[in-house]
């Protein structure tokens, strides 16, 4: 089996990891892309030298995935040149079984309705220039939590606890993006408390009001602060900024506004589609941020959806056969970390290939190595032999 070169490089920058755990993680992440079928304990043992019980036992142990993923990000060439922003989102994982931890009804985007299963909350990092995305942490949403943010402890509280755990390791990441579900007072307060800014989407009928910019009136009483309610069918008081560079039919309007509901000011950007007069309302808690940067950062939010896609299609995010909380948490983080490792190796390699080709080469490398070992030809034909390399690359397509 051909071990990805970057794994040795990653653990060389993580000296605190014990020798036995390092060996297991290297074997595990090497096997994830080489196996065929579902990412289960039984299948992992079929494609690796480790026993099934070894995988079950190690999946119960703690591993610092945040430190691992940050090391992966630090080794990526793009992390040294461009600005990095954070992204928050959840993904639905279908799962059955009466004793599986975390079973509840969660929103499934693919089905556009709530379904019984599991939910994984993910914090990701996105490089703004190259659009490269790396998962930082995955946490399973506990069951039986209220979906109403006003309750004493809700799902939003859990998401913000995860955010607080991650942000301590991200002193240079200032901006975070999230979809409209996260436009809640608890989220804004958590971001502000950590000296971070949130860029999100507001409702199309959001209650906003203009800030008063005129002279102060004479006489007693508090000065006037607000100057009327915002109507999105009349944007004459907004600053018109022209169209998007790549979509000229989308006009941008921007204004610093106040929200009575959230009791704070926002940099609000309204994107108007001139073809059908539909519009989208974006808001940033950084009132001094440029409108075009707000739009550019929010559009990068979709990169986390591509991260979910890669983890589900290529790294078995939905395949775990375990039921305990510890094993499920380990499995979800393994799937996302495996995608990080594959992406890093593609960035550092001479050949730029797709993830589909990477998986093909991983399996071919495992198969060729197994055949050479069984035929006693390992010394004569190593995996780096030119003829063997051609076989390993068979079926892969350079991007």
pLDDT class for 388, splitting at 50, 70, 90?
low
Percent of the chain with pLDDT over 70: 91
pLDDT score of 48: 92
pLDDT class for 397, splitting at 50, 70, 90?
low
pLDDT class for 399, splitting at 50, 70, 90?
very low
Interval 369-382: pLDDT, tens: 777 777 766 666 66
Interval 3-34: pLDDT, tens: 677 899 999 999 989 999 999 999 999 999 99
Comparing CA positions, the residue from 102, 126, 116 lying closest to residue 178 is: 126
Average pLDDT, the chain: 90
pLDDT score of 366: 75
Report d(CA 395, CA 34) in Å as an integer: 14
Q: What is the mean pLDDT of residues 157-170?
A: 95
Structure tokens at 70: 């940050």
Residue 306 three-state SS: helix
In angstroms, what CA-CA distances link 364 with 44, 358, 391?
16, 10, 7
Comparing CA positions, the residue from 325, 349, 367 lying closest to residue 33 is: 367
Reply yes or no on whether the pLDDT at 215 is more than 90: no
Report d(CA 90, CA 119) in Å as an integer: 7
Backbone angles phi, psi at 87, to 5 degrees: -140, 140
pLDDT score of 392: 62
pLDDT class for 2, splitting at 50, 70, 90?
low
Which residues are CB-contacts of 246 (< 8 A; sequence separation ≥ 6)? none
Percent of the chain with pLDDT over 90: 72
pLDDT score of 217: 79
pLDDT class for 360, splitting at 50, 70, 90?
confident
pLDDT class for 398, splitting at 50, 70, 90?
low
pLDDT class for 137, splitting at 50, 70, 90?
very high
Which of 42-51, 252-261, 374-383 has the weakest average pLDDT? 374-383
The per-residue b/e assignment along 291-318, b for 16 or more CB within 10 angstroms, e otherwise, is: bebbbebbebbbbbbebbebbbebbbbb
Q: What is the mean pLDDT of residues 256-272?
A: 97
Reply yes or no on whether the pLDDT at 390 is more than 90: no
Interval 194-204: pLDDT, tens: 999 999 999 99
pLDDT class for 384, splitting at 50, 70, 90?
low
Tell me the whole-structure pTM to 2 decimals.
Answer: 0.90
Interval 227-253: pLDDT, tens: 999 999 999 999 999 999 889 999 999
- 89 forms beta bridges with 122
pLDDT class for 391, splitting at 50, 70, 90?
low
């Amino acid at each position: 089996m051909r071990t990805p070169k970057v794994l040795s490089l990653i653990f060389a920058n993580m000296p605190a990891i014990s020798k036995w755990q390092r060996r297991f993680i290297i074997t595990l992440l090497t096997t994830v892309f080489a196996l065929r079928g579902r990412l289960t304990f039984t299948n992992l043992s079929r494609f690796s030298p480790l026993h099934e019980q070894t995988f079950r036992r190690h999946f119960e142990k703690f591993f610092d995935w945040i430190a691992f993923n940050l090391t992966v990000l630090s080794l990526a060439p793009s992390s040294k040149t461009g600005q990095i922003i954070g992204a928050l989102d959840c993904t639905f994982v279908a799962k059955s079984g009466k004793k599986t931890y975390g079973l509840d009804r969660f929103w499934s985007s693919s089905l556009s309705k709530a379904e019984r299963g599991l939910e994984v909350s993910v914090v990701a990092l996105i490089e703004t220039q190259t659009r490269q995305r790396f998962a930082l942490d995955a946490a399973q949403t506990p069951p039986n939590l209220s979906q109403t943010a006003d309750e004493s402890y809700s799902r939003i509280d859990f998401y913000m606890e995860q955010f607080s755990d991650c942000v301590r390791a991200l002193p240079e990441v200032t901006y975070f993006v999230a979809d409209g579900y996260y436009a809640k007072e608890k989220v804004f307060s958590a971001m502000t408390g950590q000296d971070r800014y949130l860029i999100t989407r507001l409702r199309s009928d959001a209650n906003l009001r203009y800030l008063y910019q005129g002279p102060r009136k004479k006489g007693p009483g508090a000065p006037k602060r607000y100057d009327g309610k915002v109507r999105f069918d009349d944007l004459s008081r907004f600053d018109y900024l022209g169209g998007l560079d790549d979509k000229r039919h989308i006009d941008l309007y921007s204004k610093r506004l106040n929200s009575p509901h959230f009791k704070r000011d926002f940099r609000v950007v309204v994107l108007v589609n001139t073809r059908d007069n539909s519009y989208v309302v974006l808001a940033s808690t950084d009132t001094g941020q440029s409108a075009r940067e707000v739009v550019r950062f929010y559009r990068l939010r979709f990169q986390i959806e591509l991260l979910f896609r890669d983890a589900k299609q290529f790294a078995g995010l939905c395949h775990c056969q375990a039921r305990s909380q510890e094993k499920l948490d380990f499995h979800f983080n393994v799937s996302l970390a495996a995608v990080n490792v594959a992406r890093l190796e593609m960035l550092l390699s001479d050949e730029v290939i797709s993830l589909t080709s990477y998986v093909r080469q991983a399996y071919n490398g495992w198969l060729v190595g197994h055949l050479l070992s069984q035929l006693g030809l390992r010394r004569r034909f190593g995996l780096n032999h030119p003829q063997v390399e051609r076989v390993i690359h068979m079926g892969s397509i350079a991007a």
